[in-house]
């Protein structure tokens, strides 16, 4: 009977028609956005929990800092690849079945990691968390959110993406407390049960398919955008530029986010202070994403990307001369405030310059590139530390990658200006 019920529900979900266009920018869309935010907070918890347990896991398994960073790297690579796969599944079958599978993977991945007996089992468990668990609540939900909003698309996507940082602000201190009281293994098991059940409950509110959208005609105030030639390039070349930019900015972004706890431990401040700095950094990232969403609605995606990338470089530079506890708290907050709007801006850029019917796949590809950058940056920073014995060289490495991102953003912005392109628009059909 349960199998028959699941089969009937699957058929019902697959046959659900797109929502009425009148629901765009509506109260229904707002409630859906709230459920989406909860899903992102629960589904992306593992991205930040693994940073908190890094010193403990390194000590327990007796491994190097680079090896201890591998589970994070494996999870982020799998998250990027899984985002494309889960995005296509959501396009074909709707979000709900994908979220059900994701909730099972989140629960199973956390429990497996908590029971692991080696760093390789621990890493494979985080690969599962990324490939099927977290991926179901990242790129597919960002693409889905963009289809439910028109006038406030920038702030809506920013709210959805801020769930990632809410997870980063919420879970590190909770997990650190769990490590100190019941141990990291029991903490992981409890995280899996709570997040898995929470995702399943919220997924039941995501059955409605989004409305169909198409490009809006240009008006006198908004110059026409040739979506067949984004930035005056072929779609493939424009996509490649965005992917390289996304990878570069996130290699730089990963340095403080992945290693701030270990950095504080090495400086003698303790893991608890590092977890607090990570939480502060990501709490400020929430503010940054929301403010950047408002700014993006006014100045467009490419300018928002350029602004965020330049400010992120400034924050990374400040880590070099200052290593006291109070300055690190201040710089961590600044880093969060400066870089929070970078990743959501890529989704807006794609909606502004590419064909709307390709948005889901292209957003998934760029998000994959950013996650590969986070994975590479997390491991590369650990490797540089092992080679040099200091995080100073790791920060310099991050600054170099950030300069690459700024260079691409400036190049794309100059091409937009030279062609007199606007930001484009969307309308319902």
Question: pLDDT tens digits, the chain, 429 residues: what are they?
Answer: 344 444 544 454 455 677 777 888 888 889 999 999 999 999 998 887 887 888 888 888 888 877 887 888 788 788 878 877 887 787 777 788 999 999 999 999 999 999 998 889 999 999 999 888 888 888 788 878 877 888 787 788 888 888 887 887 788 889 989 999 999 999 999 999 999 999 999 998 888 877 765 544 433 344 555 667 888 888 889 899 999 999 999 999 988 888 888 888 888 888 888 888 888 887 888 888 888 888 888 888 899 999 999 999 999 999 998 888 899 999 999 998 888 788 888 888 887 888 766 666 788 788 888 878 887 888 888 888 888 888 889 899 999 999 999 999 999 999 888 876 544 444 333
Instruction: Please choose, from the candidates 148, 26, 208, the residue with its C-alpha nearest in 3D space to the C-alpha of residue 428.
Output: 148
Phi-psi bin for 420: left (phi > 0), alpha (psi -120 to 50), beta? left
pTM across the whole model: 0.71
> Strand 426-428 and strand 213-215: pairing?
antiparallel
User: What is the predicted pLDDT for the residue at 210?
Assistant: 74
User: What is the predicted pLDDT for the residue at 106?
Assistant: 95
User: What is the predicted pLDDT for the residue at 15?
Assistant: 54
For helices 46-61 and 65-93, angle between their N-to-C axes, nearest 10 degrees: 150
Domains and CATH numbers, the chain: 28-213+223-419 (1.20.1250.20)
Question: Please, is 219 exposed, middle or buried when counting C-beta atoms within 10 Å of its C-beta (0-12, 13-18, 19+)?
Answer: exposed
User: What is the predicted pLDDT for the residue at 340?
Assistant: 79
């Amino acid at each position: 009977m349960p199998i028959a019920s699941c089969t009937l529900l699957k058929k019902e979900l697959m046959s659900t028609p797109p929502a009425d266009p009148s629901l765009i920018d509506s109260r229904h869309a707002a409630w859906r956005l709230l459920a989406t935010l909860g899903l992102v907070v629960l589904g992306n918890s593992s991205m930040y929990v693994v940073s908190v347990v890094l010193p403990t896991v390194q000590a327990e398994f007796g491994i190097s800092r680079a090896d201890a960073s591998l589970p994070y790297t494996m999870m982020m690579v799998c998250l990027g690849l899984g985002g494309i796969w889960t995005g296509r599944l959501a396009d074909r079958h709707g979000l709900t079945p994908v979220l059900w599978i994701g909730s099972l993977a989140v629960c199973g991945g956390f429990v497996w990691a908590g029971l692991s007996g080696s760093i390789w089992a621990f890493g494979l468990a985080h690969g599962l968390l990324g490939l099927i668990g977290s991926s179901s609540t990242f790129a597919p939900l960002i693409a889905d959110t963009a289809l439910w909003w028109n006038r406030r698309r920038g702030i809506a996507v920013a709210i959805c993406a801020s769930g990632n940082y809410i997870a980063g602000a919420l879970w590190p201190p909770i997990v650190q407390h769990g490590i100190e009281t019941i141990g990291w293994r029991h903490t992981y098991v409890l995280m899996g049960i709570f997040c898995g059940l929470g995702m399943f409950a919220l997924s039941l509110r995501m059955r409605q398919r989004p409305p169909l959208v198409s490009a809006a005609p240009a008006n006198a105030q908004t110059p026409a955008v040739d979506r067949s030639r984004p930035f005056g390039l072929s779609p493939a070349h424009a996509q490649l530029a965005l992917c390289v930019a996304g990878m570069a900015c996130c290699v730089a972004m990963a340095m403080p986010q992945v290693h701030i706890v270990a950095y504080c431990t090495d400086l003698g401040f303790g893991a608890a202070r590092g977890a607090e700095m990570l939480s502060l950094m990501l709490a400020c990232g929430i503010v940054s994403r929301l403010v950047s969403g408002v700014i993006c609605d006014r100045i467009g995606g490419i300018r928002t990307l350029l602004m965020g990338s330049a400010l992120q470089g400034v924050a990374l530079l400040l880590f070099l001369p200052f290593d006291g506890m109070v300055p690190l708290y201040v710089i961590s907050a600044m880093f969060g405030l400066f870089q929070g709007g970078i990743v959501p801006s890529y989704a807006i850029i794609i909606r502004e310059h590419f064909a709307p019917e390709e948005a889901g796949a292209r957003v998934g590809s760029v998000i994959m590139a950013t996650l590969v950058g986070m994975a590479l940056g997390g491991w590369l920073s650990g490797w540089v530390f092992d080679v040099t014995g200091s995080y100073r060289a790791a920060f310099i490495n991050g600054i170099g990658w950030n300069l690459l991102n700024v260079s691409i953003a400036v190049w794309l912005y100059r091409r937009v200006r030279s062609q007199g392109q606007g930001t484009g628009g969307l309308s319902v059909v």
